[in-house]
Amino acid sequence: MKPILDVDIGGLKLKNPVMVGSGTFGYGDEFKEYVEINRLGAIVTKTITKHRREGTRPPRIYETTGGMLNAIGLQNNGVDDFVQNKLKHYKNLKTKLIVSVGGETNSEYVDVIEQLSSYSEISAFELNISCPNIEYKDKIIACDENLTHQLVREVRRVTVLPLIVKLSPNVSDITLIAKAAQEGGADAISLVNTFLGMAINVKTKRPVLGNITGGLSGPAIKPLALRMVWQVHNRISLPIIGMGGIMNARDALEFIIAGASAVAVGTANFINPETTLEVLNGIEDYLIKHRIKDISELIGSLNVG
Amino acid sequence: MKLEILANTLLKEKRYFLELKVPKEFPLCAPGQFLHMRIEDSCDPLLRRPFSIHDFNPAGKKGEGVIKIFYEVVGKGTALLSQKQSSSVVDVLGPCGHGFDLLKIEKAKKIYIVAGGMGMAPLYFLAKTLVHKKPVVLLGARTKDQLFAEPELKKLKLDVSISTEDGSEGTKGKITDVLSDLLKKDKTDGSTTICACGPKSMLAVVSELGRRYNIGVFVSMEEFMGCGLGACLGCVIRTVNGYKRICHDGPVFDSKELVW
């Protein structure tokens, strides 16, 4: 019998737990030749900001052992362009659309989410709180409990759609930030965003990336991300979307067992654009093989006894 | 799509020729496009590597087609590729990107194809496609050993000029000096077009020559790439209209569009 794959992410009902990581799937369109997008549980857009952002200067990506550094700088054309030129492509989408939202001030987040909340194509928002916050002198919101709590509270007031908060792993205790997001009114938590890293060209003694530092993703970060999902799952009650170096179904299953209600495939989309569907098929095969009728039985089932 | 390796031959100085078997269902390739290749099913190297299509013969009634790749071993990915034997397979996405604008280029009365070192990689396919227009091919390198003009190029019976910086073969000096002299002699009326690929510093000079003589220059650019499909915005280049994606908006750009 076909196992039940439906999951509920804080009111966002997905037909299966496999999604994509923001920024790794463009706006979905770029991958349609390679992936049956409608088979996914959800797609997450590249982060949208209130104003157009040019992004950081190249080089923007660099490969390190088992991982990839990137510093794109949230290049996007702004929310108005998204509404005018991108949103219409989602009319016939048969999966859930989650819009990732970023900003430099709390009011930018609030404005974007208020503007987008009325569009029926959108099922949920993911707050990308890992960009520098100009309002509080270049602080990263996701690195500060109070800023996280405050932002989530302000955004919560302007939307009834499920609100997912994506956390940065570049903190000493991620459970404190997760708790702050929960208390601010978040419906779900995404973790993790990339780990801050860098690479140096020893010939020129210059940083490889135009931005000097960048975010590390890919299989190199999987054990770190997995540990954080497990810690947060033990500390808060909100559903978790787990991500960080998922390359195959086995990686995804680890995240689910650690406590993730859904998983997002990121960097792997670049390597094999069909990874999401392979992950989905692999999860289903695992449930059948282990006679698990409903994926909810597997979520957080880690046995530490 | 998995493509079978027909041959993987060392030419000289870490430079190889890779020939891939192309089945009927493989899309047609255009000069300037590239393949985004996964060499091993491993996490190191992790990302795909972009390779210019050096030559393409589509599958026809006589059987399978062939894609040729001309590459140099520079890192882990290309080192692994160089060890691949014939009849093993590589996984490719593609053909990716937008190549040379043939409709525009074919309108030119005179076409120069200018390659610096490995810059020949995407340009043989272009020269072959434009052979009826009798393009003039300029090929430059630092030294004779880094010079590469395969027999196929000679078979096209095109006018080929060679230069090396150390004078070990052809004219001594930079290929851009050769180009500059030719343009001076041509007294071009703007109906000339240049297609170029090579180091960025060389392309900047070619672009400047184009501006000076008011002639069109198309350049093939490169950068570290992520997805290769236009989604990740990792491989951008600065243009007069903001950053554009080399993998998707390029890799060939009108040089006037780029900020040098």
- Contact list in B for residue A34 (CB cut-off 8 A) is 93, 229
Instruction: Tell me which residue of B121, B96, B104, B130 sits closest to B227, measured CA to CA.
Output: B96
> Nearest Cβ partner of B226 from A55, A61, A65?
A61
Q: Is residue A11 part of a domain?
A: yes
How far apart are the C-alpha atoms of B99 and B247, rounded to whole Å?
10
Q: Is residue A212 part of a domain?
A: no
Q: Is residue A246 part of a domain?
A: yes
Cβ under 8 Å to A: B residues 168-227: 223-227
Residue A173 near chain B (CB below 8 Å):
no
Q: Is residue A204 part of a domain?
A: no
Range of the domain at A262: 7-55+74-194+218-297
Q: Is residue A292 part of a domain?
A: yes
- Does the beta-carbon distance from A70 to B232 stay under 8 Å? yes
Per-residue pLDDT of chain B (260 residues; tens, 9 = 90+): 999 999 999 988 899 999 999 999 999 999 999 999 999 988 999 999 999 999 999 988 878 899 999 999 999 999 999 999 999 999 999 999 999 999 999 999 999 999 999 999 999 999 999 999 999 999 999 998 888 766 778 889 999 999 999 999 899 999 999 999 999 988 777 789 999 999 999 999 999 999 999 999 999 999 999 999 999 999 999 999 999 999 999 999 999 999 99
Model ipTM over 0.85: yes
Residue pLDDT, tens place only, A123-148: 999 999 987 777 777 788 999 999 99
Q: Is residue A164 part of a domain?
A: yes
Q: Is residue A26 part of a domain?
A: yes
The pair phi, psi for residue B215, each rounded to 5°, is: -125, 155
> Nearest Cβ partner of B45 from A46, A57, A63?
A63
Q: Which of A19, A48, A87, A131 is catalytic?
A: A131
Q: Is residue A37 part of a domain?
A: yes
- Does the beta-carbon distance from A61 to B225 stay under 8 Å? yes
Q: How much is the pLDDT for B222? A: 93
Mean pLDDT of chain A: 95
Number of alpha carbons in the 13 Å side-chain half-sphere of residue A17: 34
- Does the beta-carbon distance from B223 to A58 stay under 8 Å? yes
HEC sequence for B159-225: CEEEEECCCCCCEECCHHHHHHHHHHHHCCCCCEEEEEECCHHHHHHHHHHHHHHCCEEEEECCCCC
**A143 catalytically annotated:** no
Query: Could you give the number of structural domains in chain A?
Result: 1
Residue B259 near chain A (CB below 8 Å):
no
Residue pLDDT, tens place only, A226-264: 999 999 999 999 999 999 999 999 999 999 999 999 999
CB pairs under 8 A between A and B: 91
Cβ under 8 Å to B: A residues 48-87: 54-55, 57-63, 65-68, 70, 72, 75
Let me know how long chain A is.
305
The amino acid that residue A211 corresponds to is N
> Nearest Cβ partner of B232 from A23, A57, A58?
A23
Instruction: Tell me which residue of A209, A288, A293, A295 sits closest to A260, measured CA to CA.
Output: A295
Tokens 């093993």 found at: B88
CATH number at residue A78: 3.20.20.70
